[in-house]
């Protein structure tokens, strides 16, 4: 059973708001900075795994075993990130190290985008409904952007 006292401050609206922005960030990082476009499923998988940190931070942030859980999950994420995005690419060792370390940049960006949602609610005074609505319009824009990018690549 999950103890209520273990629950952290991270809320669902923060996750929803941060996810669409992080997806876009991941695409731009790989396509424009690292200059190695990934298949769309790879962007989806990495963003999904990043978003699943919500479980750890929402339900277990105050649990006595939280550091172990967070570090274990982080290790699994980093190994998966390397396996899905970096391994097998015909690039230099330096590029592969940089690309692997981009997982940390991805994580920091995700946290930052979630924190923007928290600021909008806690400091600016928006209701979380409006943050969620903004996020859903963001997802629509993201879907349109990626659909066009995918159809352009296929043509």
**For residue 78, what are the contacts with CB-CB under 8 A and spacing of at least 6?**
100, 103
Residue 155 pLDDT grade (very low, low, confident, very high; cuts 50, 70, 90): low
Instruction: Quick: pLDDT tens for 62-90.
Output: 999 999 999 999 999 999 999 999 999 99
Please give the radius of gyration of the chain, using alpha carbons only, rounded to the nearest integer: 17
Q: Where are the domains of the chain?
A: 7-154
Instruction: Quick: pLDDT tens for 29-48.
Output: 999 999 999 999 999 999 99
Question: pTM to 2 decimals?
Answer: 0.93
Residue whose entry in the numeric block shows the structure tokens 């982080």: 74
């Amino acid at each position: 059973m999950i103890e209520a006292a273990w629950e952290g401050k991270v809320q669902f609206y923060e996750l929803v708001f941060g996810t669409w922005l992080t997806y876009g960030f991941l695409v731009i990082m790989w396509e424009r900075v690292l200059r190695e476009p990934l298949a769309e499923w790879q962007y989806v998988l990495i963003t999904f795994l990043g978003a699943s940190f919500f479980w750890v931070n929402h339900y277990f942030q105050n649990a006595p075993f939280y550091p172990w859980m967070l570090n274990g999950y982080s290790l699994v994420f980093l190994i998966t990130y390397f396996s899905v995005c970096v391994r097998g690419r015909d690039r230099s060792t330096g590029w592969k190290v940089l690309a692997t370390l981009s997982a940390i940049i991805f994580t920091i960006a995700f946290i930052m985008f979630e924190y923007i949602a928290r600021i909008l609610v806690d400091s600016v005074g928006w209701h979380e409904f409006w943050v969620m609505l903004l996020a859903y319009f963001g997802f629509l824009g993201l879907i349109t952007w990626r659909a066009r990018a995918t159809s352009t690549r296929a043509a």
